[in-house]
């Protein structure tokens, strides 16, 4: 069971001014939201305009994994809901949370209403089969973790710059914690750029990376960045510093 009064939403953003409005409108206004932003565009301004309360924006140059970690460390509620700027939550999502099974981590499918619907349905089906085989297949767009469980395993692996969502639920599972797939907890994807570059390519790439990570065979040189940080312009700053933080709670 997940009490909505005990939930904080954590979202990383980078140049998502064209996407983030959908996410914001799908969130209950009373739930706290922590955004860790690495943008050069107007993303922070869009967030400030559309969600002026119960929102904290931390502006930090970092990878997506580091952004999720920073947000989780700032949160103080018993539950963390990890998501991304290019999705929206189904209208009944948060109403379903109080009726979910008791677990240390929950994850649901990411579907689509505006393209590639068959691919997303297939992927959700594979998530269900993988869960039944005892191998969680979580997405950082739709992942809930008890904060106590998150801290117990040390959070996300900071060396990973993608697939950090899959890796943390595997660690949770291996520590004897309960990780559950809930097909009724749906989010909808709205940005399909990676799929437009090739469905087969994206699928094979994800399967290969996840297999190598799961078997602990991932070469260090393959841990490439989706949110590349280059030179001083994108230099990571110390997590303990909160300059550039805008608290509108």
- Residues 58, 242: Cα–Cα separation, whole Å: 7
- Residues 1, 71: Cα–Cα separation, whole Å: 23
- Residues 123, 137: Cα–Cα separation, whole Å: 10
The single residue listed with the structure tokens 């300059």 is 243
Residue 14 falls inside a structural domain: yes
* pLDDT, tens digit (0-9, with 9 covering 90-100), for 113-146: 999 999 999 999 999 999 999 999 999 999 999 9
CATH of the domain at 178: 3.90.550.10
Residue 134 falls inside a structural domain: yes
Asked if 28 and 89 touch (Cβ cutoff 8 Å), the reply is no
Does the reported pTM lie above 0.75? yes
Torsion angles phi and psi, residue 37, rounded to 5: -110, 135
pLDDT band with cut points at 50, 70 and 90 for residue 163: confident
User: Is the pLDDT assigned to residue 243 strictly greater than 80?
Assistant: no
Residue 22 falls inside a structural domain: yes
Q: Residue 165's closest CA among 83, 56, 76?
A: 83
- Residues 118, 110: Cα–Cα separation, whole Å: 12
* pLDDT, tens digit (0-9, with 9 covering 90-100), for 206-234: 777 777 777 777 766 665 544 444 333 33
Residue 247 falls inside a structural domain: no
Lowest-confidence region among 118-122, 180-184, 245-249: 245-249
Give the up-direction half-sphere exposure of residue 221: CA atoms within 13 A in the CB hemisphere: 0
Maximum distance among all alpha carbons in the chain?
47
Residue 80 falls inside a structural domain: yes
Number of domains in the chain: 1
Query: Residue 90's domain spans which residues?
Result: 4-191
Q: What is the mean pLDDT of the chain?
A: 86
pLDDT of res. 219: 66
Query: How far does CA 170 lie from the centroid of its chain?
Result: 15
Residue 208 falls inside a structural domain: no
Residue 104 falls inside a structural domain: yes
pLDDT of res. 240: 33
What's the rounded mean pLDDT across residues 12-33?
96
* pLDDT, tens digit (0-9, with 9 covering 90-100), for 44-83: 999 999 999 999 999 999 999 999 999 999 999 999 999 9
Residue 249 falls inside a structural domain: no
Q: How far is CA 53 from CA 3, 28, 49, 50, in A?
A: 20, 11, 10, 9
- Residues 175, 68: Cα–Cα separation, whole Å: 21
């Amino acid at each position: 069971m997940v009490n909505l009064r005990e939930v904080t939403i954590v979202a990383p953003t980078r140049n998502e001014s064209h996407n983030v409005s959908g996410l914001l409108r799908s969130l209950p206004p009373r739930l706290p939201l922590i955004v860790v932003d690495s943008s050069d565009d107007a993303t922070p301004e869009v967030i400030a305009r559309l969600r002026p309360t119960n929102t904290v924006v931390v502006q930090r140059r970092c990878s997506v994994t580091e952004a999720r970690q920073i947000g989780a460390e700032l949160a103080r509620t018993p539950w963390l809901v990890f998501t991304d700027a290019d999705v929206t939550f189904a209208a009944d999502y948060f109403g379903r949370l109080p009726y979910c099974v008791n677990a240390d981590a929950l994850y649901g499918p990411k579907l689509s209403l505006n393209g590639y619907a068959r691919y997303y349905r297939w992927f959700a089906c594979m998530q269900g089969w993988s869960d039944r085989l005892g191998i969680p297949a979580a997405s950082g767009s739709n992942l809930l973790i008890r904060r106590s469980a998150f801290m117990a395993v040390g959070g996300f692996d900071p060396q990973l710059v993608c697939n950090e969502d899959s890796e943390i639920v595997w660690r949770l599972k291996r520590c004897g914690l309960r990780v559950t797939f809930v097909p009724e907890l749906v989010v909808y994807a709205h940005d399909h750029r990676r799929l437009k570059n090739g469905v087969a390519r994206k699928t094979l790439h994800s399967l290969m990376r996840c297999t190598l990570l799961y078997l602990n065979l991932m070469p260090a040189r393959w841990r490439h960045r989706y949110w590349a940080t280059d030179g001083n312009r994108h230099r990571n700053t110390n997590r303990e510093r909160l300059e550039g933080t805008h608290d509108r709670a």
